[in-house]
Structure formats: structure tokens, C-alpha cells
Chains A and B, each alone.
Chain A
Amino acid sequence: DGGITQSPKYLFRKEGQNVTLSCEQNLNHDAMYWYRQDPGQGLRLIYYSQIVNDFQKGDIAEGYSVSREKKESFPLTVTSAQKNPTAFYLCASSQGPGNQPQHFGDGTRLSIL
């Protein structure tokens, strides 16, 4: 079955450490997205990529970085500059115009040790 795979499911970070969250899709979608979700809040866009080798900052990009070297992969690095990284991170992908929905992975929960 086609879908989006995020790994790991749970991740722990020490102070001052960078960590990378994986997102892989086999839906052949051009666009991919990273969202952050905090308790009781909606989803906030971190970064998005509409095509390979190109990506754009979302609303809360500070302290994060991404790459898009392959169509199926869009890893997110949470750097030590992100002072409050504890959150649930969701990756999504979509294809075509705006009337097509985004498809989501099952998320990665990041916590600080």
C-alpha cells in the first residue's frame, strides 16, 4: 500500500544535540510538508517542498532545517537552536492542485531528556 512512513515513532534529544526525523513517501507526490503540533494547538507549518531540490520556509522555520534530494524523502533536522523542540511532528505529501488533500504520516514524538 502507498503511504507515508515517519521514523522513529519516539525520539529523545539531549540538550545541544541535533536530531533528524525521517519522512519517506511512495505515493509519487511532488509536494511534501513538515508540521509541528503542540498540545491543544493546531498544526503549524515548518517547511515545505514543492519539488525536488527546492524547499521553502513555513511559519516556524527557525531552529529547523530540511533537504529534498530525492522525491520520496524529506528529512527534518531539529537543531540545537530550537529551544523548545518537544512536540509531535507530522510529515505530509500531496500532488496536484489545491483540491487534492494532503496525506499524513503517523508522526514522530520528540522529547527532551
Chain B
Amino acid sequence: AQSVTQLGSHVSVSEGALVLLRCNYSSSVPPYLFWYVQYPNQGLQLLLKYTTGATLVKGINGFEAEFKKSETSFHLTKPSAHMSDAAEYFCAVSDRNAGNMLTFGGGTRLMVKP
């Protein structure tokens, strides 16, 4: 069975600072990997995904993530935080052999200080 761990349920950064949200997965086969963002009282919006090819993927709103197979990680970064980035972020994985069922991490709430 797959599992997803997001280190740090809350992360606080200053506006303009680097954002780093961590995601590690456990899977016998490298899965498909996704990052979603959730604003208060809304659904989840896809930020980016890794399926194959280049391990550094770029998403919306200036976010990017790098798939590191040796570290079983898919950390999300953004060079400079904006106030509008304050939200909850979820990492999710999909088993390549199990259709499009997703396993989610517990989420990380990003707070941005002025």
C-alpha cells in the first residue's frame, strides 16, 4: 500500500521568502505525483503533476516541484512567497497500476507573513 507524508502540518514564511513544502511517498513503483492547493471553503485545485520525463515540473502561480526517485520525494517550491499563496497544500500519489485512485498526504497549511 502506498503512503504519503507531508512534513510539517503548518509552515510560516515571510512575504518574498522561499517556500518549501515537503512530500515523501512510499511505493514499490514510482507513482504519478500531484500537488493540489485548497483555499478556505473551496475544493482542491491542481498545481502541478509529474508523470514521466523531466523530473522538474512547473505548475501554476510560480510553483515547481522536483521528483527525486532516490529520495522518494516530490517537494514543492516557490522562490518568492506572495500573500495570496496562503492556503493548504496537498501532495497526492497515484499508483501506476491502479487507475486514477489517489492517496493524499495530511496537508500543509502555508501562512505568509507581511
A contacts, CB < 8 Å to B: 4, 6, 31, 40-43, 45, 48, 50, 88, 90, 92, 94, 96-107, 109
Contacts and interface: CB of A to CB of B under 8 A. Distances in A.
Contact of A109 (B36, B41, B95, B104): B41
Interface of B: 9, 31-32, 34, 36, 41-46, 49, 51-52, 90, 94-96, 98-102, 104-107
B106 A99 contact: no
Contact of B94 (A43, A99, A105, A106): A99
A43 B100 contact: no
B106 A106 contact: no
A76 B94 CA distance: 24
A42 B106 contact: yes
Nearest to B39: A106
A35 to B, nearest CB: 8
A98 B106 CA distance: 21
